[in-house]
Amino acid sequence: MRSVIQKHLTIPFEYGLADCCQFVGECVEAVHGYNPVDGFEYETEQDADELINRYGNLEALVTAKMGLPTEEFCDGDIALYEQTDGSQILGVVDGDRAILKSKRGVAIWPIAEAKAIWSTR
């Protein structure tokens, strides 16, 4: 997972290649050997929004793919956060924090602020 994080520190945000979902998928794959966002096909922000809107929001899309969120979590699990503008963003659990890839780069948010967490085990 560390190598994925390091990689994303050096590459710019790009929908479909280096965004929050692709980052999380690569991290989970590094930890567990599978990519939970395989099948999330989009190339632009508009494409991503259309995919998300088919489910209602990002939380519903991840729930459809991963099942119900969990109360127990460990490193490599998927965390969802709501941003100040109301949009949602995914991160990967790393101890008592989550690491996220946003348009502004890689960021760290407290796990206590996560709206939902899905087990990747």
pLDDT band for position 108 (cuts 50, 70, 90): very high
Long-range contacts of 91-94 (CB under 8 A, 24+ apart): 91/20, 91/24, 92/1, 92/23, 92/24, 92/27, 92/28, 93/117, 94/1
Q: How far is it, in rounded angstroms, from Cα 53 to Cα 111? A: 26
Predicted local confidence at residue 113, as pLDDT: 97
Instruction: For residues 68 and 45, give the distance between their C-alpha atoms in angstroms, rounded to a whole number.
Output: 26
- Tens of pLDDT along 67-96? 999 999 999 999 999 999 999 999 999 999
First-to-last C-alpha distance (Å) of the chain: 15
Taking residues 34-61, report their average pLDDT: 96
Question: Tens digits of per-residue pLDDT, 9-21?
Answer: 999 999 999 999 9
Tell me what the pLDDT averaged over the chain comes to.
Answer: 96
CA 61, CA 17: separation in Å to the nearest integer? 18
Residue range 28-42, pLDDT digits in tens:
999 999 999 998 999
pTM of the model: 0.94
Cα separation of 30 and 20, whole Å?
15
- pLDDT for the residue 91: 98
Q: How many CB atoms lie within 10 A of CB 15?
A: 18
With b for 16 or more beta-carbon neighbours within 10 A and e for fewer, the 42-52 pattern comes to: beeeeebeebb
Beta strands 97-102 and 105-110 are antiparallel
